[in-house]
Structure 1
């Protein structure tokens, strides 16, 4: 396994002293160039993890290390150079009057030269397919287009890790698929780790590893396929199993043989059915 980039060491957090712990003695690692998905039902602690990674919150107990540096009040601005965040509602991130102004904002704060900013604006808008909208006002964009611009703004500051905190929750299924494809492509072209935080199991199929949160604790760590094989257990902790996995079970109950265990998506399921039945 590659070098550790993010380390949670026995982290506990709660928003008020009289409230229960949102995270309870939580430990896990994220590695360099890894795509890790963090999933869980509402209230499981997954979005709190995103805010802790970026120093928007600090743990009451335990340690968080980013690239070997502990996240605290003294290091938070240095940490944020390594961590780019894309939130659920992109309107909350827009500060520029045009798309290019918004992508330039983070670079201006870091003292990029004008020539470098123009180069990075063009390169990163092209990376997310938004180069034709650079002079457009952000409020005129669709939800999916806004998230693409938010991703371009994050990429422009060259972070070590990009965190998507429920970044597709406000999009329709087509928009979600487009954003996940975009994210997959830009990750392959850029030397960065990716953390996707979601409650939608359809979004984890491309991840290298999945961390399942339940009750503020790490419930399971495994590959997407291994997680999908635990359909009944997932439903017990409030997560719906993917449609392809449920359909595979129903087909087997109906006498249709399925050789693949826990298909990740409907393409795998169709391929399996076609391969098996083309031989009969």
Structure 2
């Protein structure tokens, strides 16, 4: 299936006396794609994640997951296909040990015990937490907790993983390790991945970006195209990567940098190309 997720004219609000959090939102997520969703607080990012997972149901429009409409009758199948990792992993832990926690979701979905044992091992291997199977989740470090949360989601073999500010509580090293882990798992298992984040380092690694503003899809495209619109992003309260800012300053100094670099290596390549022409 070309598109795994489809939002069709979706509107949502938390009560009738409140404004729409999402207002006529439409977009698609391809199979095996890494999509980043960004926007200022209150722009509707986390609401989108909860709608995809069936935690919320839209008042208007429809959401399709793998061709199925998200509604009360499809919620459990949807949640098997769409796994979520939240900002605070402590809110997801239910087991007394790491192994128990990874098993919990499979128990809810009625997996046979023999298959559960195999999947626990595979999931912990994938995130590098096999040696911690007997540990208490709450005694782990922040990065280790998120790895366990990811393993718990992975165990039920979803087709899409949503990370809702999942690295926000980690230091830069921890964020990098978690994103590398998730990226490796995504590529190994051909998953779609959606990151809802304020971390611009995560955004530039995605294949596509959706910018939300006031409950609407404000901009959509590849990271390079998105960050070319620096002034427009700043006007709606969003930052741009340091490399983008540095490139802008270098252009102001007269350097004819053609494309928009997304990382240090790309900027160095652009500068070396300019130097070679001198």
Into which bin does the TM-score normalised by the smaller protein fall? over 0.9
How far apart are 1:274 and its partner, in Å?
Answer: 4.2
Number of aligned positions between the proteins: 278
1:166-198 Cα offsets, whole Å, 9 max, x none, are 111111111111111111111000121111111
Distance 1:89 1:111 in 2: 26
Distance 1:246 1:259 in 2: 13
Map of 2:185 onto structure 1? 186
Q: Which ranges in structure 2 are unaligned for 5 or more consecutive residues?
A: none
Q: 1:118 to 1:61 in 2, by over 3 A?
A: same
Map of 2:20 onto structure 1? 21
Secondary structure in structure 1 of the residue aligned to 2:266: helix
**1:264 pairs with 2:259:** no
Map of 1:45 onto structure 2? 44
Give the stretch that moved more between structures: 269-278 or 151-160.
269-278
How far apart are 1:135 and its partner, in Å?
Answer: 1.2
How far apart are 1:275 and its partner, in Å?
Answer: 4.8
Distance 2:166 2:236 in 1: 22
Distance 1:161 1:137 in 2: 27
- CA RMSD between the two structures: 1.5
Map of 2:34 onto structure 1? 35
TM-score by length of 2: 0.95
Distance 2:231 2:171 in 1: 27
How far apart are 1:228 and its partner, in Å?
Answer: 1.1
CA contact (8 A) 2:54 2:79 kept: yes
CA contact (8 A) 1:23 1:217 kept: yes
Map of 2:82 onto structure 1? 83
Distance 2:273 2:120 in 1: 46
Secondary structure in structure 2 of the residue aligned to 1:205: helix
Secondary structure in structure 2 of the residue aligned to 1:129: coil
Map of 1:135 onto structure 2? 134
Secondary structure in structure 2 of the residue aligned to 1:21: coil
1:237-256 alignment runs, 5 A limit: 237-255=236-254
Distance 1:265 1:128 in 2: 26
TM-score by length of 1: 0.95
1:196-207 alignment runs, 5 A limit: 196-207=195-206
Distance 1:185 1:259 in 2: 32
How far apart are 1:279 and its partner, in Å?
Answer: 6.6
Q: Which ranges in structure 1 are unaligned for 5 or more consecutive residues?
A: none
Map of 1:168 onto structure 2? 167
Give the stretch that moved more between structures: 213-222 or 177-186.
177-186
Q: 1:154 to 1:258 in 2, by over 3 A?
A: farther
